[in-house]
Every structure is written in C-alpha cells, then in structure tokens.
Chains A and B, each alone.
Chain A
Amino acid sequence: MSVRARGRGDPILAVAAGLATVVLLSFVLLPVAAIFLRTSPARLIAQLHSKVALDALGVSLRTTIIALAAILMLGTPAAYVLATRTKRWTVVMTTLLELPLVLPPAVAGLGLLVAFGRNGLLGRPLRALGLAIPFSETAVILALVFVSLPFFLRQAVASFGAVDPVLLAASRTLGVGAAGTFFRVALPIARPGLSAGAGLAWARALGEFGATLMFAGSLQGRTQTLPVAIFAELAQDFDVAVSISALLVAVSAGLLVAAKLLLRERPLWADTWTGISSSSSVAA
C-alpha cells in the first residue's frame, strides 16, 4: 500500500517519492520556522507576558477544554449508536453530523448567530430565560463544538464500527447487559481511536478562528482566543501577533505529541476487578 512497498526496486519512483517528501516537509516547516526565527527567544518570552497573550491563552484553554468535554460526553454515545446500528437512517444521521466539516467557518459563525442571536431563531426563548449567548464565552464554546465535533465523531464511529460485534454478543451471553458491555468491551477496544479523534478535535478547536470571530467577537479576556488575538494584534503590534503564534504552535505541537504518546500507552480500562491482571499474580 505504501509508496515504499510498491516502489521497491524502482529507483525512479523512489527518487520521486523522496523528493516529494522533502518538498512537502520544507513547505510545512518553513512558515513554522519563520515564526520562531522572526524574533529572539528572549523577546518572544517577554512578549508573552503581555496581558493580551495571557488572556488569550486562558480563554483558549478554558473554552477548548469545555468544548472537548461536551464533544466527548455527547459524541461518544452518539457514535456508538450510529456505529452499531446498521439502519439506513444512521448513514443519513452520520452525514448530517459531519456537515460542519465542509461548512466554511464564516458560514458556521453566521449560522450560529442567526440561530442563537438576539434576533435569531431561538432569540426570543433564550431572552425569556435571561440568556444572551452571542459575544460571550458560551458563544465561543458553541462555535468550537460546532466546528470540531465532526473530527471526533468520524473517528469515533469508525473506531466503534471496527469493534467485532461478536465480542459484544459474547459479553451479553456472559451475563453483562448492554450498558456494561459498552463500558467493558466497546469503549476499551475503541479507546485508541477515540483518543486520536479527541486529539484531532482539540487541535481543530484550538485553531478555530472564523466562526468564533463572527459569533463571539474579539473581547479580550472573554471571547478572544489565541487565533482571534493574533488577528487583533496584527493591526496593533506585529511582534505580539508573532509571539502569540509561536505560543499556539508550541501548545498545538505539545498536544500532537501528547496524543501520540497516549495512543501508545496500554489500555486504560483493563478489567482488573478480580485482581487478576498480570502473570506475576498467577505464576505458581
């Protein structure tokens, strides 16, 4: 399947593939390197102490974590149901839930605004409840959930779909109900895929810009996330914008590495109830 496997013994293909890889790698790394080369590390760190950067970091971390929690809590059971039922409507549902994936962020932001805004579809009932969503932290979270949900959902449906239904059946015949089977069989087996999906969703949420700006605005300390702060600082102080970008690169890269490490770790849900978990306790 891979280029290397297919191209074995074909020097022209090997050279072409090698060249393509080098070109792509340079292309991806160049802008990242440029950000770090633009200012000295000392200045970079100094700029980060600015109120704007710290506020943005706080908003970004807070909103992405809440958004991710909401995505996991709603997305996981939904993905399980969609993956284990093979009805025609599940295909339709999955496609609908993936819609934000192809929606331009500006359209998503506008859509959220006309749905939850003051004069939007739900404007009147929300106002009756004393809720004003646009240009609040809640708006940021809603925007993040909207755009990053499909990244988790796609992966989660695929991961649950890959769990052999016979294993679920086996669990049932062993006296464990549907809920227990979900927690003790489906979830642990799908976990690596779910983690990968969560990592992708988080990365997408962290970088979200368009929908957030349109639906939540750019209020420092309240709705100004890191990407929005970069955009705001671009017109004010270019060096601060570059520093915040560097910060965002560092956080995202850290996230990527953490996700990869998490995937390699042994399953979290090992069934250690009877205390028989390793050979050491059993070896006679």
Chain B
Amino acid sequence: MGGHVDRNLVVEFGRRLRRLDLQVEFALGSETFALVGPSGSGKTSVLRAIAGLDRPASGRIAFDSTTWFDASRAIDLAPEARSVGLVFQEYALFPHLTAAENVAYGLRRHGIGRREARTRVYAMLERFAIRDVAGVRPGSLSGGERQRVALARAVAADPRVLLLDEPLSALDAETKGRISAELAGHLAGLRLPTILVSHDFEDVIGLGDRIAVMEGGRIVQEGGWRELLEAPASSYVAALTGVNYFRGTATARGELTEIRSSEGEAVFVSTEPASGPVGVVVYPWDVALSTQDPSGSARNRLAGPVRRVAGVGNRIRVTVDSRPSIVAEVTEQSRRTLSLGPGVRVIASWKATGTRLVPRVT
C-alpha cells in the first residue's frame, strides 16, 4: 500500500500570515499524506500554496522536474498552469452548473476534444456513482453526492496531485463513516500523490498512509497513525490521536456484536450493531490496566507485557504488547501502584460500550 516510491512532490516553504508563521517541509510519492491539526494551524494555507492560490514568501514547490514555485528564482506558476486537483472544504461546486457540467468544467482546454471530454465525463460519473444526478444542480444534491461530484471534477482534469481540504467535515456524523470508506476506496484506485487535510485524527486513520500533525504553522510530528498514537510528541498530539484502532470482522450475537480480530486470536465485544469487515476504535482512557484478572463488567480483555511507557503530563500512555497491541492511558498514580514499566505483564480491559465500530474498506 501507499508505495514508498520516489517522491514526486516536494514542498518546502515559509509564509507569514497574520497570526501564524507558516513553515513546512515534506515530500511525497503516490501515497496519501494527511495533515492533521486544529483550525488555524495552517493546514489549508499549505494546500492553497501548493495549488498556487497563495504565494509563499520563501521556499520551493516542485513536481517531478517541474518547478511550480521558487522564491529565489522568482518562479510562480499560475494555478491553472499547475496540475493540481483541489477538493475544497465546502466542495465549491459551481451553483449555476449541473453535476455533469461541473465535472466537465476543467476539460475545456486545448488537446481535449469535445467527444473525448464527453466520454471522460461519463466515465467519471460512472466511477463516482453520480450518473443518476448528472443533470442536477449542486443545491439539490446530498452532502455525499456533492463530495463525489467535487472529487470527480478534480480528478476529471487528470491532475498530477490531488489535494483534499477537510473532505469529511461537511458531512453529518451518520454519513461520514460510509463516505470515508468510499473515499478511501477511490483514493486507493487513483494512485495519485494526495494531500488530505483534517482537524480530526480519527477521520484520517483509514485514509492517510502517512500522517503529519500540524500545530502553529509547523509540522510537529510525522509518521504512521500507530506511531503517533504510541508516542505522541506533545500533549496536543496525544489529545489528537487518542485512539486505538484494530481491524476485524463483525457478527451479531444477540444484543451485542462480536468482532474477530484480523490479528491474533482476540475477540472483541461491542454494543454497536455491525456485520462484516469493520474498524474497531478503542479510546485509551476507556482501557483499564491491572496485573491480576480484573473482576467486573469489562467484557474485552487483552493480555501482554508492557512495551513502552510514555508520559505526557498526567496522561501516561502505556503500550501493551498484546495481539493486537493496545495503548492505555493511565494516571501517574496508577503507573506507580502497578509499578508499570517495560516487561511487566498486564491485562488491559474495557467495557463493550468502549468498543466503537467504524467502517473500513480493505
């Protein structure tokens, strides 16, 4: 997955904004790179700079051998001269055009004939399952349909880089899970260097191959989601990434749902209804640690030796080498009472209500 191939897109620039000194540096190949951070951390500004909508003060942005921006050489290609597909936060669909006309919008330029454009629009409508709403204006589309139209429009023009600004934030919680899975499927199929921006860590777990956390205009930590979860570099990252994530297959068992973990022999119990492949999210602060078999209502158990203890303030993150491995968040007092340290065998437990199920694609 993801492909740690050669880095096509190189981004390194600085820009002073009113309340922010933006300074970023990263490169990516045909993979999905997620930028996560609170509003005002500069995520959207990064996307706008790459798209050519804002001009950084210094640095360089290049794709393969083409320089899009270079402050020292006074190169600054116009947005239309860069091959960037940008999906805006509120999708920015043209309200006066139908879904199909929106998708066709970027195809009107030299080299693409009318007939070819038409064929390509139909292919896009088909691919993103929006053929039924082809003649509908954005005002009458649902949130999910709008997102697919926006994605189809961005992709139709054959961009070299895809930029997604908060692709899920405009959706209500109910449709979010389904759309997220859909989006992950589309991104996997596109195989484009993709930068995805979100304020929600949970949203990007299933989408980003690499995740960079932004705070105050800088990338403060970068890595896979598990890396960020296990060893948050700051209390902000810890708060942001506070989840465990497993893959499994769900089956209904009366009132409850049983999830067979894809890794190891573990079986989780959840109060949330689901069936088939699911993602399992468990918050570290829902997980209790004990050295003896715990009594009580906790239906979920994972046992193993402690691999790592990382303290951030009074939030102590304990990684347990169970199968699958889990991170618990305990207080400093618990750490001392249980004398938690690497190698100590513990049992992590949590209630069925603490097993949250999210859709997954693969």
Residues of A within 8 A of B (CB): 164, 166-167, 169-178, 184-185, 188-189, 267, 269-284
> A166 touching B92 by the CB < 8 A rule?
yes
Q: Which of B52, B88, B109 contacts A166 (CB 8 A)?
A: B88
Q: Which of B48, B97, B114 contacts A271 (CB 8 A)?
A: B97
Please name the residue on chain A nearest to B153 by beta carbon.
A174
Which of B84, B95, B117, B131 has the most C-beta atoms of chain A within 10 angstroms of its own C-beta?
A: B95
> A270 touching B96 by the CB < 8 A rule?
yes
Please name the residue on chain A nearest to B51 by beta carbon.
A173
> A170 touching B136 by the CB < 8 A rule?
no
B100 located at the interface, meaning its Cβ lies under 8 Å from any Cβ of chain A in the complex: yes
Q: Which of A164, A272, A278, A284 contacts B131 (CB 8 A)?
A: A284
Point out the residues of chain B lying under 8 angstroms from A280, CB to CB.
Answer: 135
Closest CB in chain A relative to B120 CB, distance in Å: 9
Point out the residues of chain A lying under 8 angstroms from B82, CB to CB.
Answer: 173
A73–B90 Cα distance when bound, in Å, is 33
The 10 A-B pairs with the shortest beta carbon distances in the complex, nearest first, are A279-B135, A174-B106, A282-B134, A172-B79, A276-B100, A170-B92, A274-B104, A173-B86, A166-B92, A271-B101
Closest CB in chain B relative to A94 CB, distance in Å: 24
> B114 touching A282 by the CB < 8 A rule?
no
Q: Which of B96, B105, B134, B135 contacts A267 (CB 8 A)?
A: B96
Number of interface residues of B (CB under 8 A): 40
Point out the residues of chain A lying under 8 angstroms from B90, CB to CB.
Answer: 166
- For chain B, residues 108 to 138, give those with C-beta under 8 angstroms from any C-beta of chain A: 108-109, 114, 117-118, 121, 125, 131, 134-136
Closest CB in chain B relative to A279 CB, distance in Å: 3
Q: Which of B85, B92, B109, B154 contacts A169 (CB 8 A)?
A: B92
B46 located at the interface, meaning its Cβ lies under 8 Å from any Cβ of chain A in the complex: no
Closest CB in chain A relative to B357 CB, distance in Å: 35
A170–B88 Cα distance when bound, in Å, is 8
> B131 touching A269 by the CB < 8 A rule?
no
- A279-B109 contact, Cβ under 8 Å, with A166-B88, A172-B79, A274-B118: no
Point out the residues of chain A lying under 8 angstroms from B131, CB to CB.
Answer: 282, 284
Point out the residues of chain A lying under 8 angstroms from B285, CB to CB.
Answer: none
> B97 touching A270 by the CB < 8 A rule?
yes
A267–B92 Cα distance when bound, in Å, is 19
B94 located at the interface, meaning its Cβ lies under 8 Å from any Cβ of chain A in the complex: yes
Beyond A171-B105, A276-B118, 7 additional pairs, beta carbon < 8 A? A176-B108, A272-B101, A273-B104, A274-B104, A274-B121, A278-B135, A282-B131
Closest CB in chain A relative to B274 CB, distance in Å: 33
- For chain B, residues 55 to 99, give those with C-beta under 8 angstroms from any C-beta of chain A: 78-80, 82-86, 88, 90, 92, 94-98
Point out the residues of chain B lying under 8 angstroms from A269, CB to CB.
Answer: 96
- For chain B, residues 202 to 231, give those with C-beta under 8 angstroms from any C-beta of chain A: none
- A279-B114 contact, Cβ under 8 Å, with A175-B109, A176-B108: no
> A274 touching B107 by the CB < 8 A rule?
yes
A270–B105 Cα distance when bound, in Å, is 11
Closest CB in chain B relative to A166 CB, distance in Å: 5
B157 located at the interface, meaning its Cβ lies under 8 Å from any Cβ of chain A in the complex: yes
> B80 touching A271 by the CB < 8 A rule?
no
> A273 touching B114 by the CB < 8 A rule?
yes
Please name the residue on chain B nearest to A176 by beta carbon.
B80
B53 located at the interface, meaning its Cβ lies under 8 Å from any Cβ of chain A in the complex: yes
Point out the residues of chain B lying under 8 angstroms from A176, CB to CB.
Answer: 80, 105-106, 108-109
A267–B101 Cα distance when bound, in Å, is 14
> B121 touching A276 by the CB < 8 A rule?
yes
> A275 touching B118 by the CB < 8 A rule?
yes
**Would you give 7 A-B contacts (Cβ < 8 Å), ordered by A?**
A167-B94, A170-B86, A174-B154, A174-B157, A175-B80, A175-B83, A185-B94
